Amino acid sequence: MKLRAPSVPLITVDPYFSIWSGSDKLTDSDTVHWTGKPQKLTGTVLVDGKAFRFMGRGDAPALTQTGLEISACTSAYTFENESVCLSAAFTSPLLPNDLDIASRPVSFLELCATSKDGAPHDIGFVLTMDDSVCLNEKFQYPTETAPLALPALTGASVRSCVQNVLNRSGDDLRIDWGTAFLATNAPCAAANVLSSVGENGNAAHTLQLTVEGDTALIAFAYDDVRSIQYFGENLPSYWNRDGKTIFTALQEAFADYPDVKARCGLLAKDLRAKTDNDRYYELLSLAFRQSFAAHKLAVDENGEVLFISKECFSNGCAATVDVSYPSVPLYLLYNPELVLGMLRPIFRFAEGDGWPFSFAPHDAGQYPLVNGQVYSEGTNEENQMPVEECGNMLIMLAAAALASGDISFAKAHWTLLEQWVVYLLEYGLDPKNQLCTDDFAGHLAHNCNLALKAIMGVAAFGILLALGGDANKADAYFEKARAMAAAWLQNAHDDETVFRLAFDRPGTWSMKYNAVWNFVFETGIFPPDAFERELQTHLEKHLNRYGLPLDNRATYTKSDWLLWTAAMMKTPQDFSALVDTLWTAYHESESRVPLTDWYDTETGKKIGFQNRTVQGGLFMQVLKESGICRFRKEP
């Protein structure tokens, strides 16, 4: 991989069990949770009794890192010194079509050492995991450990002595309940516990594994007991929905590792085959685990999939509609059921008594407590996003129905869909002074890009009608959408090259990323060349070193919208021009964090977000080219 990842995914299971390395070399810094708080893993290889570091900081000399390849599910490092060569591959098997495995909270490190100098060597490994993995802050509570008593496995567990499951919600927080495990199936291994005491007197522990031999398979696992509070009920994760224990999960994970590893390799090959653009492939590979693991897989009381997103470093909201919307290209490609899993909490809330409005909610809670909208104090109308969320919901439902070939989910919620499309018809063409997902600069009236979302939302309802067999009514909605589009083209026009940021603001411009669905659905709502001049103007006049700004008001951009705009480009060369700016931003940025989606196009530095699910939006070009959401309803 030529891309210097700003941060490398090591363990990526869910928003709480997510450990990264934010340096060029795995030995240059200690590992951290995605929030940047320490969650220390260390690794050394023993060569003829002498220790050499390959992970984390410490007193032992570091091996020389010679390579790093990041694929969809694996980060594979290579190291060497004068005596040995070492490979260290971290794999989190987030297989989107096998939710039992994707949700199983077990992540692996596979180690293999070979002689470099041709001489035989006595090889071993020492791995440690600090108890900060199971605490919000180090020394928050005293911790306790236990040996792992399972056949053919060696290891230990650590947990907080205070077990208050699902005790709070928020953004910059880590789990402080449940149990962390470090284990191996190596025949010659020993588990040990290192102890210390904090200034507050709380006991702290570090789990340590020592393995003899030149290969080792190490598992990092976490049992969170209950994963999501869902409208008052504490739910398990998907993997243990039927009562499976973490001990069974560990045994199964080791047993099927060879097969799962091969399947992860096939997923990487499939992703490679979807694009011949090397830089684009590297961005997709880095985005895959981040987007998936910023969700939590659970099941509701009816046994239906819930795929709960967390707004990482924005506000911690759960199941946020305008966070799901940009992320869906990845999941439409690999498993549309996950898109429905994002939407179920929204319908559950909107169809209940707690939501008083005729438009769609913004969210369904704050992670991990999914009990109803918390954004804008829940039901405070002033800071809602009516056009934004109605359009998002209709577009996502139409895309999922096309990708899956199944309209039944939409039909089950038809009353709300009719209500939301009526709202778009009344207020969408010229939105009032309201927020949208790009609310960094505050409210904006007459937002041209937001109006595009409304138009595509009306077209999406037409698609749903057509898929449901009501051709005449579908045609009527397509005509409504075309009429809105014709008015939009006239009202948004600024000069021969661009459309305005807002209808009443001459001399302005913005990304029109919501128009990408005109290319994906192929419903002919807008002429195919409607945005061609504007896109060329962006390339010629507005593009900075690290990307295209969202609009003329500031130099920051969003990675998801940048590549949605790229997906509308006419030629591969123009598509690459935008991809290259994003690749360069991540390659050169001083912000050594899991991919930020909100950054400055002149400095490449993060503005505010990191590790968010929206990086699934980078897959938009692949989604468009796949044709799985194509409708082709021509005028």
pLDDT of residue 495: 87
Which residues on neighbouring strands pair with residue 69, listed in sequence order?
76
Tell me the C-alpha distance between 241 and 226, whole Å: 10
* Contacting residues for 540 by C-beta, under 8 A, at least 6 apart: none
Q: Mind listing the pLDDT tens digit for each residue in 332-354? A: 999 999 999 999 999 999 999 99
Tell me the C-alpha distance between 16 and 231, whole Å: 20
- Beta 228-230 vs 369-370: how paired, if at all? parallel
Q: Mind listing the pLDDT tens digit for each residue in 173-185? A: 999 999 999 999 9
Torsion of CA 353, 357, 362, 367, to 10 degrees: -20
pLDDT of residue 298: 98
The answer to whether 171 touches 311, Cβ cutoff 8 Å, is yes
568 pLDDT band, cuts 50/70/90, is very high
Q: What is the DSSP letter of 419?
A: H
Tell me the C-alpha distance between 392 and 320, whole Å: 11
Tokens coding 287: 């985005």
Q: Mind listing the pLDDT tens digit for each residue in 191-216? A: 999 999 998 999 999 999 999 999 99
Q: Mind listing the pLDDT tens digit for each residue in 432-452? A: 998 898 878 778 999 999 999
234 pLDDT band, cuts 50/70/90, is very high
The reported pTM is 0.97
pLDDT of residue 635: 46
pLDDT of residue 441: 76
**Average confidence (pLDDT) over 559-587:** 98
pLDDT at 6 over 70: yes
Question: For the chain, how many residues are written?
Answer: 635
pLDDT of residue 377: 79
Tell me the C-alpha distance between 275 and 122, whole Å: 44
**Average confidence (pLDDT) over 349-371:** 96
Q: What percent of the chain has pLDDT over 90?
A: 95
pLDDT of residue 458: 98
pLDDT at 362 over 80: yes
Q: What percent of the chain has pLDDT over 70?
A: 100
**Average confidence (pLDDT) over 598-612:** 97
pLDDT of residue 5: 98
Q: Which amino acid is at 188?
A: C
Q: Mind listing the pLDDT tens digit for each residue in 521-563? A: 999 999 989 999 999 999 999 999 999 999 999 999 999 999 9
Q: List domains and CATH numbers for the chain.
A: 8-264 (2.70.98), 274-626 (1.50.10.10)
State the chain's mean pLDDT as an integer: 96
